[in-house]
Amino acid sequence: MAWEILNILAVSAFAFSGAIVALNERYDIFGTFILGIATPFAGGIIRNIALDVPVVHVWEQGYLFYVALGTIAIVYFFPKSWVMSWDRWNIYLDAIGLSAFALQGAQFAIANDFPLGGILFAAILTGVGGGVTRDVLAQRRPMVMHQEIYAVWALLTGLVAGIGIVDIDSSIQTYLLFVVIILCRVLSYHLGWHLRFRDMYRI
């Protein structure tokens, strides 16, 4: 049940985020649905390809596919003045998707008996893959390439799950990590935390 709820939150958050970006870029209905669907599912597909495990295609995602379609439809058909006012919340939706999908990636790797390196890799790819795909399709600079901290939080998720600090079989610990990663991502955005050392070491 814990993973089902996290999956629903992640898919709806990233589908919403992708659809909002599509509307900001003035995509038509087809483009909005394509970008809205690609954002929540691309990370898992990229992860499976990279880890050489069977790929679960978008149309095989079961009820999650319909969660994404329903979310995108709400965004597209609601009055545009309402939807555009929601754009300010996109950072929070992206944080929810990043946290939930990073957890999902770590859980996937642990369930398939991957070593720590594979767990970290899976958490990063699943967590940031959808956002990168969204930004590339929208011809934006991927958020993971910015100076602000983004992929580090997916890495941290995989690390604490992979070395056993957090037991992902425990719903309480899983949700606690989920919330902590969201808070870390939001704080790093609002407080301007970054990994840029250019100002420290000038050549």
State residue 180's pLDDT score: 94
Backbone angles phi, psi at 194, to 5 degrees: -150, 170
State residue 200's pLDDT score: 43
Residue 52 above 70 pLDDT?
A: yes
pTM of model > 0.75: yes
Q: Interhelix angle for 90-111 vs 116-137, to 10°?
A: 150
Region 48-60: mean pLDDT is: 79
- Look up residue 13 and give its two tokens: 């958050």
* pLDDT-based confidence at residue 17 (cuts at 50, 70, 90): confident
Question: Can you list the alpha helix ranges (DSSP code H) found in the chain?
Answer: 2-24, 29-50, 63-77, 80-85, 90-111, 116-137, 151-162, 171-190
DSSP state of 85: H
Region 121-139: mean pLDDT is: 88
State residue 202's pLDDT score: 45
First to last CA, the chain: 53
Pick the closest to residue 154 from 188, 128, 118, 115 (CA basis): 128
* pLDDT-based confidence at residue 148 (cuts at 50, 70, 90): low
